[in-house]
Every structure is written in C-alpha cells, then in structure tokens.
Structure 1
C-alpha cells in the first residue's frame, strides 16, 4: 500500500516538475491570480449541486445492496471524502474512508465497499461515454488512436459493470445523477477557462474539458494535481490554444476544486452520527449476504 501511494505521488510530482521545467511557473501564477471571490462562490455553488447528485447516486447503489444510507448522511460523507481525496495522496483515500465508515455503521464493510466502488465506476462509465460522444461529434484535435483508446476503456468499464451488476431498477437514476455530476464538473472547468480568459466556442472547449476530466480521475495525483495538468497542456496545445493556457486553466480549476471541498474539512470536525440499523435492514443484509 505504501509503495503504491509512493509511486502515485512520484508520478504526479514528476508530471508537475516537467511542466514547470517546460513552461516555468508563469501559467500556475496566472491561473491563481485569475481566480476571484465571485468565481469561487460560483464554483462552490456548482460543487454543492454535484455533491448532492453524487450522494444520490451512492444512495441508489446502496439501496440496491440493501444498505441503509439517509440522504443527509450521504451528502455529508461525500463532502468529507472529497476533502480527504484532495488532502491525502492518491486521490482515493477519501472514498476508502467513506466506504469503511458506512460499512461500520451498517455492519458490513465489504458490501459498503462494493457500493462505493460501483458508484464510482458508474460515474466514470457515464463520463467516458459522454467523452467518446463529444470527441466523435464535436470538433476535436484528438487523434483517432486516442479516441480508440478511450473507447476501449469504456468497453472495459461496461464489462466490469456487467460482471458485478447493479440493480436494474436503479440504473435510470444512477445514469441521470452521473450525467448531472459530469455537467457540473464540466461547468466548473468552463468557468475556469473563462476566468483565465480563454476565448473559444463551447463546441471546441467541451471535448477538451471532458478529456481532461477523464484523465483527472486517474488515482495518481497529489491533491488532484498532476495528470490533470498534463492532459490540459496536451489538449489545449493540440487544439492550437497553447499548452501554457491549458495549464493556467487547469490551475484555476484546481483552486476551484480545493475551495469547493473545504466544507468537508468542517464536517470532519463534527462528531460522526452513527446510523441506526433496523431489524428490516439486518434481515435484508442476511438475505443478500
């Protein structure tokens, strides 16, 4: 575990060092300086909506596995996990914390862990699906080979979901919630682009945005930084917008992400409210164990 986290951090740091060597600190400074209090407020509002939708998606998956998860607790736990994902290396330890805490509450850590994994995989499945559509339909500088790779990853995720399966009746809500989450993250990235001063049509910006979001989900980052910046540099450079501008946009997006996750730090200070398990829940757990 320690070796894996070390390698994840090493990859992220190596990417950032290479970017500093190539572009200097100017794009990072430009991204930070472009951020304003009003733009942070807008990003935090968007993040509230995406967090609620993410928590709803998690709750739908948990319900399908006969796990009790009140919406209020789901939202609070999701905020905590987002902050921990940013504060701790690797980008997934917050989700581990969310799974373990929920598992201890409902009396089955393995099933609670499965709920978190399936919830995240479902989200990535929708994100990659939308990315493939955007890259294929909208103007994009992405080579056919990259589109093919992304498509292969999509097929792989579909195979995983098919193998483990989610409750069929939960899929419509899960897909709807996931689309809302993608829209929220994309809107935040677009906000970062406009904050930095990128002047390009939405049709050209959206494919780049989704591609960066796919790479940003890789668990090899430090506080969300690393692959995301590398992807932004490549995508914006390939689109003729300049790698430095892409780096500045990604930096502003990173600041928005950190600011939006800060409520999770406050919630971590609040004593945890354990769920009250009912006899019905325990019977459901036994039947599905």
Structure 2
C-alpha cells in the first residue's frame, strides 16, 4: 500500500499575507517620523518660520565650540559607562574604540529618523565583534537604562522642588508613583524568593543578575552613577546655554525643570533625528512659565543644532572607518591569513551600511 500524501491537505497561503505584513511594518517604522514632522509643522504654523530662523541666526562660532566641547565630555563619559557595563557582562571593549563607536551612534541617531538606529547599530556591531550579539544588545540596553534612571531620579527631584509648570501635578502624582515603584520592587523580590527552576524564572533571574552586576555592584555602581550624573549635567548645561543664546533671561532654577521636560521628550520615539517632541514640549513649558512660546521654540532650535554639532565627529569616524575598511578589503590580502579576532575588528571598522550578507550581518539599520 502506498502512504497517503499530505500535500493536498495543506492550507493555501493567502497571497496578500506578506504584503500586509510589510505594509504594517513600514507603517510602524515611519509613524514616529511622521509624528515628529507633524509637530514641527504645527509649531511653524502657529509660531511662524521667523522664530526658527531667528534661533539659527543667533548661533555663532563660540556657541558651536561650546557644543563640541560639551559633546566631547559627555560622549567620552558615555563610552566609559558603556565599557563598564560591557565588561560586567564579560565583553571586551577598549575605551578608544568605544568612544569612536559612541560618536558614530550619536551621529546616526541625529541623522536618521527614529533617533535609535545608531544605538541599534552600535549594539549589533559590538555583539558581532565579540561573537555574542545577545550580550552586545543587552550591554547597550543596560547602558542606556543607566542614563534613564539618572534622568528619572534627578528629574523627579527637580520637578518636585524647583518652580515649574508641572510642579503641582508632579507633587500630586508622586505618591502614586512611589506606590508603583514599591509594588514593582515587591514583585522583583517575590521572583527572587521563588525557588522554582522554570525556564522563564531562570531567564528572569539571569537578566536581573546581569542588571545588578552592571549597574549596582560595588565594582560598577560608583562609576556608572558618577558618569550618568556628569552626562546629565552636561545635557542640562547645554540647554541653559541654548536658552541664553536664544535670548532668554530666565534663571537657572527656572530653566532646569524645563530642561528635564525637554530631555524626557527627546526620549520619545516620535521624532525626526531628535526634532519634534522636544520643540513642542519646550515651547509649551516656556509659555506655561510665562517666558513665551517663541523663546521656548528658539531655545529648542538652538539646542537641537548644538546637539547635532556635538555628534558631528561621528561623521569623521564613519568616513575614516569606511576608508580603512576599503584598504583592508583589497584583494591582495588573503582572507586565510586573517585571524578571527582580526576579522571581527575589521568588520567593526567598516562602513555601517556595508556588510557581507553571507555572514548574516545586517545590510542596513532597518534590518536589525
């Protein structure tokens, strides 16, 4: 007897399934860009293009130098924080290459829609060079988490103490937020006390253990906290400089809470190279504080330009590493004579949008 075939019983594949999935993915990818562009368009419509152009005209050479200097300090400290976190996960990351990779990521974040593709590229490339993409991604996530924790702690204190348009709302919301944090800590404690050896429990315990070693251990905790505080101070200081350049005479005590709100808005994935929510929130906060929406919009414009200028050394890193990758990829060099570690190093030095698809590397940031 012949065995029955199962081919006829297989369900037909809907011809529109793949196009629909692609269209939904493209919509989610570009939704943040469209939202950021819409915010900028509304601001230009309500406040006029003159405010935007006035902010640009006020930027002079000393202001650009200040942006580059502050950006250099914060980038080196960010790379050091990344190095500390990566080493806690067992990954090698010398400080020099880390600074170059971080500058490259900052430039890609500022030049590409979404504001996170540079960090994605940084995580994947470092993971590839070390042979463990998962740990490379977790190192970047934990490093960015450290910055968000510093912003949350400092921002909560600043919004609770210093005068701001949202101080009363924050004070009324603080008890609820504290209860939520206490509940989250209770859940974490319950998970740690659970003795089950299930797969999910083991993965969660491993993740919490990595976070503790990277951010709270005696070896890493002081360095991560110090670098995060200094980085945040640099961003807030640059915002104050931007306000002064835009013509605002408000005191630092008034500008610091607004800077916190602007930094929080920058973390929203609804921007065009960082532009969008930051400008909207800053214009609203300045208007609510009685400083004028025009002044707030101009301050955000100056800050956006300074942030982009601070990331411009990343373009130099891109060009230099792309040229170095072309030199190392000449046919005269035999691939059999290149050691695995050297090959990984050359891969990290190549242009970010070029990779050998046969090795499974992403061709563009959209694919990672």
Same fold (TM over 0.5): yes
Contact 2:161-2:167 at 8 Å conserved across structures: no
| Structure 1 residue 228 corresponds to structure 2 residue 274 | no
Distance 2:174 2:298 in 1: 27
Q: 1:121 to 1:150 in 2, by over 3 A?
A: farther
Q: 1:188 to 1:276 in 2, by over 3 A?
A: farther
Which residue does the alignment assign to 1:190?
240
Question: Highest relative contact order (Cα 8 Å, sep 6+), 1 or 2?
Answer: 1
Question: CA offsets, 1:2-28, max 9 Å, x none?
Answer: 322211101101111111111111221
Distance 1:150 1:27 in 2: 39
| Structure 1 residue 266 corresponds to structure 2 residue 312 | no
Which residue does the alignment assign to 1:65?
89
- Counterparts of 1:144-183 in structure 2, within 5 Å, are 144-146=168-170, 148=173, 152=177, 155=181, 165-167=211-213, 168-169=217-218, 170-183=220-233
Query: Once the 2 structures are TM-superposed, how far is the Cα of residue 271 of structure 1 from its aligned partner?
Result: 2.5
Which residue does the alignment assign to 2:335?
none
Distance 2:28 2:107 in 1: 21
Contact 2:36-2:275 at 8 Å conserved across structures: yes
Contact 1:128-1:150 at 8 Å conserved across structures: no
Alignment RMSD: 2.6
Distance 2:269 2:166 in 1: 23
Which residue does the alignment assign to 1:84?
108
SS in 2 for 1:96: helix
Query: Once the 2 structures are TM-superposed, how far is the Cα of residue 207 of structure 1 from its aligned partner?
Result: 1.0
Which residue does the alignment assign to 1:283?
none
Contact 1:61-1:166 at 8 Å conserved across structures: no
Question: CA offsets, 1:172-212, max 9 Å, x none?
Answer: 21111111110111111111011111101111111111111
**Aligned equivalent of 2:145, options 113, 121, 138:** 121
Query: Once the 2 structures are TM-superposed, how far is the Cα of residue 163 of structure 1 from its aligned partner?
Result: 8.1
Question: Stretches of 4+ moved more than 6 A in 1?
Answer: 158-161, 272-276
Distance 2:174 2:114 in 1: 23
Which runs of 5 or more structure 2 residues have no equivalent in the other structure? 1-24, 189-206, 326-338, 343-368
Distance 1:151 1:109 in 2: 38
**Aligned equivalent of 2:249, options 181, 194, 199:** 199
- Counterparts of 1:249-260 in structure 2, within 5 Å, are 249-260=299-310
SS in 1 for 2:321: coil
Distance 1:242 1:12 in 2: 22
Distance 1:247 1:163 in 2: 43
- Counterparts of 1:126-137 in structure 2, within 5 Å, are 126-137=150-161
SS in 2 for 1:140: coil
Distance 1:74 1:152 in 2: 36
Distance 1:31 1:155 in 2: 40
Distance 1:216 1:230 in 2: 10
SS in 2 for 1:141: coil
Structure 1 length as normaliser, TM-score? 0.89
Contact 1:132-1:150 at 8 Å conserved across structures: no
Q: 1:38 to 1:21 in 2, by over 3 A?
A: same
Query: Once the 2 structures are TM-superposed, how far is the Cα of residue 166 of structure 1 from its aligned partner?
Result: 3.1
Which residue does the alignment assign to 1:282?
none
Which residue does the alignment assign to 1:25?
49
**Aligned equivalent of 1:217, options 267, 272, 289:** 267
Contact 1:89-1:223 at 8 Å conserved across structures: yes
Distance 2:174 2:112 in 1: 29
Of the two, which has the highest radius of gyration? 2
Distance 1:42 1:149 in 2: 36
Contact 2:74-2:234 at 8 Å conserved across structures: yes
Query: Once the 2 structures are TM-superposed, how far is the Cα of residue 231 of structure 1 from its aligned partner?
Result: 0.8
